[in-house]
C-alpha cells in the first residue's frame, strides 16, 4: 500500500503525522530528520493512516447533498431503496411502493421536505409501540414521546421525563432502533452514562455495542 504525503520541515523536535479534513496526508518533521526516518514512522502508522483517510473520505461522500433523481438510494428500516422520479404517477408527492420510493416529478422541487415528512410519519407509526413495550419491560414511565428532525443526536431524555427520538432513526433496522429506545428509557433510571446505566441497557439489549457501531455508519441527513 503506497501512501502519498507532503513533508513540512521546521524547528520542531518530533515527527508528526496528520490527516486533513479533505483526506490528505501530511508529515511535519524536524529539519534534521532524514527521508528514511520519516518513512519508518509512516510505515509503522500505515494501517492507522489508511483507516483514518478512508473514514474521512466516506464521511465526505455521505455529506454530498442528494439530487433526488432516479437511481439514488435512501435508507429505510436498515436497507437502502431506490428512488424513481416519474411523471406517470397516480399520486402526488412521495410514496414507498413495491420496495422503492416513487416521487412525482412535479414535486421534485420539494423532495427533501417530502422525505423528512415520510421519515417522521413512519417513525411515529412504527416506534411508539416499541417505546411502550420497553417502558413496561423496564418498569419506567415517561411523560411524553416526541419525534424531531435532529442533526446530531439519535435521541434524548429530558429532565422532565420526555423521550425525544430523531425521526431519521426510522432509517435504521428495528433492532438498532430498539437499542436507542432502551438507551433513552434507561436515563429515566440512571441519568448519566455510568456502569450501572450500561448494565441496565445490557439487560434489554445484550449486543448494544454492535448496534452503536451501526448507527455510527449511518448519516442523519436525508
pLDDT of residue 57: 65
For the segment 57-80, what is each residue's pLDDT rounded down to a tens digit? 666 555 567 899 999 999 999 999
Adjacent-strand bridge partners of 103: 85, 94
> Residue for cell digits 422520479?
85
Delineate the domains of the chain, giving CATH numbers in brackets. 6-62 (no CATH), 123-216 (3.30.2010.10)
Cell of 119: 421519515
Q: What is the pLDDT tens value at each position of the chain, 222 positions in all?
A: 566 788 999 999 899 988 876 677 889 999 999 999 999 988 888 888 878 777 776 665 555 678 999 999 999 999 999 999 998 888 899 999 999 999 999 999 999 999 999 999 999 999 999 999 999 999 999 999 999 988 878 999 999 999 999 999 999 999 999 999 999 999 999 989 999 999 999 999 999 988 888 887 766 555
Residues 6+ apart with CB under 8 A from 94: 101, 102, 103, 104, 107, 111, 114, 115, 117, 118
For the segment 132-152, what is each residue's pLDDT rounded down to a tens digit? 999 999 999 999 999 998 887
Q: Where do the H-state alpha helices sit in the chain?
A: 35-44, 46-62, 111-138, 174-186, 195-204, 208-216
Using the Cα atoms of residue 126, residue 132, residue 133 and residue 138 in order, give the sign of their dihedral: positive
Amino acid at each position: 500500500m503506497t501512501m502519498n504525503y507532503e513533508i513540512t520541515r521546521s524547528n520542531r523536535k518530533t515527527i508528526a503525522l496528520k490527516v486533513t479534513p479533505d483526506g490528505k496526508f501530511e508529515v511535519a518533521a524536524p529539519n534534521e530528520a532524514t527521508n528514511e526516518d520519516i518513512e519508518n514512522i509512516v510505515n509503522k502508522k500505515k494501517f492507522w493512516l489508511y483507516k483514518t483517510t478512508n473514514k474521512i473520505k466516506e464521511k465526505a461522500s455521505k455529506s454530498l447533498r442528494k439530487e433526488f433523481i432516479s437511481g439514488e438510494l435512501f435508507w429505510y428500516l436498515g436497507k437502502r431503496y431506490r428512488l424513481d422520479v416519474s411523471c406517470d404517477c397516480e399520486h402526488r408527492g412521495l410514496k414507498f411502493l413495491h420496495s422503492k420510493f416513487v416521487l412525482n416529478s412535479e414535486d421534485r422541487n420539494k423532495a427533501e421536505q417530502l422525505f423528512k415528512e415520510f421519515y417522521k410519519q413512519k417513525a411515529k407509526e412504527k416506534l411508539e409501540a416499541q417505546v411502550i413495550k420497553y417502558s413496561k419491560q423496564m418498569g419506567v414511565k415517561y411523560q411524553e414521546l416526541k419525534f424531531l428532525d435532529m442533526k446530531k443526536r439519535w435521541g434524548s431524555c429530558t429532565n422532565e421525563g420526555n423521550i425525544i427520538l430523531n425521526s431519521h432513526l426510522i432509517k435504521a433496522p428495528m433492532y438498532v432502533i430498539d437499542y436507542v429506545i432502551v438507551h433513552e428509557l434507561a436515563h429515566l433510571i440512571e441519568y448519566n452514562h455510568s456502569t450501572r446505566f450500561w448494565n441496565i441497557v445490557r439487560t434489554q439489549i445484550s449486543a448494544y455495542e454492535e448496534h452503536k457501531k451501526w448507527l455510527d455508519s449511518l448519516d442523519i441527513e436525508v
